[in-house]
Amino acid sequence: MIAHDALYIDGSWRPALGTGVIDVVNPADEQVIASVPAGSAEDVDAAVAAARAALPGWAAVPPARRGTYVAALRDQLVARRDEFVATMTAELGVPVGFARRVQTGIPIAVAGSYAELAATYAFEERIGNSAVHHEPVGVVGAITPWNYPLHQIVNKVAPALVAGCTIVLKPAEDTPLTAQLFAECVAAAELPAGVFNLVTGLGPVAGQALAEHPGVDLVSFTGSTDVGRRIGAIAGGAVKRVALELGGKSANVVLPGADLAKAVAANVADVCRNTGQSCNALTRLLVHTDQYEEAVSLAAAAVASFVPGDPTDPDVRVGPLVNAKQQARVRAYIDKGVEEGARLVTGGSAAPEGREKGYFVRPTVFADVTPEMTIAQEEIFGPVLSLIRYEDEDEAVRIANGTVYGLAAAVWAADGATAAAFARRLEAGQVEINGGGFNILAPFGGHKQSGIGRELGAHGLAEYLHTKSLQF
């Protein structure tokens, strides 16, 4: 076990003012592998003070120069990629292959994209007789989740740095080791003192102190809709900027004429990736009644290849859930599905064979799910897929849009034009067309209760800027 005893504030590691500690547990074997400080409100005060002191100097650095710092940070992430992979596999339980390919590969690419954008983004534009300047919002309080610990840090820190903002990061308490390693990369990239600060701690203590702090100009939060609602209320009361990337209950609609086998296989893989712990997971599969039973059989066959196992094994694609609470939550939803009359095709709430130790669950497929069932309405955050039948396109649209969420969706059709026309009717921030790949330059974010604001690319950078117009 490794005991960390410091926070990264004002360019150096310093002992926490609070005396509490957070134990970090390996979800594959339930063993405590490390501890970190549970930062207090006083620690948040110190970090915000450092960020405020560093703000004028950092904001005055030309954007292209700020981009070179982000490029240097990206290079540090590349140099320590193996350490990030091992760290996330240990504290999150993510399979090592997915940790390398996605959990580290995507944030490295995102950091690189912002390093490039710094040199090309129009921080000043002319509109008639006005010069419009895009200036840094100020001090950013970034509160990040455990499910994609490095990706969500980079999604906030990289654009904030390019914008000229300074940052205080409060990472999720389940995955603080990734954040500590990131802070070491910041130090190695030689960012000026106070530009980036890290306070590990509990959400109700350090997280709330950061959201409420009068010295924070923008709160950027990724996590559950319930917590996001509280942070939004805090920010609204203080009349400060807020960006919220929240939950989802995304639908995958397979239209008649689509490649059903390909669509179902892609959907099962999507729900099982990261053990279902993805806010944009396609957890509802909508299939026309004429092809419904065929889709059920295809889903059952596809999920059989996703066997929970040791996340350090390169051949394993499904690891444990992050903690005991999450395991109990997912199992309860599976039991609720059975209780409400859904047909359990495969999986279930019992522990996977040979995986009684660790926070493992069985990848589960339900059929005969109706739109009003709990498992069709609420975010489960586990590898659970619900198949829902529809009679025509209008009904498919109503079902797909019939939740409080609007983060993501997918459409499969015989051709791209048909799928795109259907996608235009969906209330979602991003829609995959016939398996279209993730684009780190396109805006990511939700409609309805899935959030406010956007991440990634130029749209993500704009979240950290406000405008000033000079009239001539």
CATH number at residue 146: 3.40.605.10
- Per DSSP, the three-state class of 320 is coil
What are the E-state strand segments in 118-193? 124-127, 130-136, 139-143, 166-170
Site of tokens 């308490």:
173
* Partners of 168 in the β-ladder: 141, 197
Q: What is the C-alpha separation between 321 and 27, in angstroms, rounded?
A: 7
| Strand pairing category for 284-288 and 384-390 | parallel
Could you say which DSSP state residue 20 is in? -
Q: What is the C-alpha separation between 445 and 220, in angstroms, rounded?
A: 12
pLDDT number for residue 1? 83
Return the H-helix or E-strand segment holding 14: strand 12-15
Give me the torsion for CA of 401, 257, 440, 225, rounded to 10°. 20
> Could you tell me if 200 and 206 are in contact, meaning their C-beta atoms sit under 8 angstroms apart?
yes
Q: What is the C-alpha separation between 91 and 34, in angstroms, rounded?
A: 9
Please tell me whether residues 354 and 460 are part of one structural domain.
no
Please tell me whether residues 116 and 238 are part of one structural domain.
yes
Return the H-helix or E-strand segment holding 470: strand 465-471
Please tell me whether residues 6 and 47 are part of one structural domain.
yes
pLDDT number for residue 18? 85
Give the residue numbers spanning the domain of 267.
Answer: 251-439
Q: Compute the chain's Rg from CA coordinates.
A: 22
Q: Within a domain: residue 465? A: yes
HSE toward the beta carbon, residue 303, CA cutoff 13 A: 27
The residues carrying an active-site annotation are 245, 279
233: phi then psi, degrees, rounded to nearest 5: -65, -40
Please tell me whether residues 170 and 289 are part of one structural domain.
no
Please tell me whether residues 67 and 173 are part of one structural domain.
yes
284 CA to centre of own chain: 19
Return the H-helix or E-strand segment holding 455: none
Please tell me whether residues 278 and 195 are part of one structural domain.
no
CATH at 359: 3.40.309.10
Q: Within a domain: residue 460? A: yes
Q: What is the C-alpha separation between 271 and 317, in angstroms, rounded?
A: 12
Please tell me whether residues 308 and 327 are part of one structural domain.
yes
Buried b (16+ CB within 10 A) or exposed e, 314-343: eebbbbbbbbeebbeebbebbebbeeeebe
Q: Within a domain: residue 392? A: yes
Which residue type occupies 275? T
Please tell me whether residues 228 and 317 are part of one structural domain.
no
Q: Within a domain: residue 380? A: yes
Which residue type occupies 12? S
- Report the candidate in 382, 389, 321, 330 with the shortest Cα–Cα distance to residue 355: 321
Q: Within a domain: residue 445? A: no
Name the domain count of the chain.
2
Please tell me whether residues 35 and 104 are part of one structural domain.
yes
Please tell me whether residues 343 and 419 are part of one structural domain.
yes
pLDDT number for residue 147? 98
Please tell me whether residues 153 and 229 are part of one structural domain.
yes
% helix / strand / coil in the chain, to the nearest 5? Answer: 40, 25, 35
- Report the candidate in 159, 208, 226, 163 with the shortest Cα–Cα distance to residue 40: 208
Token pair listed for 180: 């500590």
pLDDT number for residue 268? 98
Distances in whole angstroms, Cα of residue 305 to Cα of each of 83, 218, 265, 413, 451: 28, 44, 11, 25, 34
Low-confidence ranges of the chain (pLDDT < 70): none
Distances in whole angstroms, Cα of residue 443 to Cα of each of 99, 140, 161, 407: 23, 20, 18, 11
Q: What is the C-alpha separation between 380 and 329, in angstroms, rounded?
A: 7
Q: What is the C-alpha separation between 200 and 15, in angstroms, rounded?
A: 12
Q: Within a domain: residue 131? A: yes
Q: Within a domain: residue 83? A: yes
Q: Within a domain: residue 444? A: no
Q: What is the C-alpha separation between 66 and 52, in angstroms, rounded?
A: 17
Please tell me whether residues 178 and 85 are part of one structural domain.
yes
Helices 63-79, 81-92: crossing angle, 10 deg rounding = 70
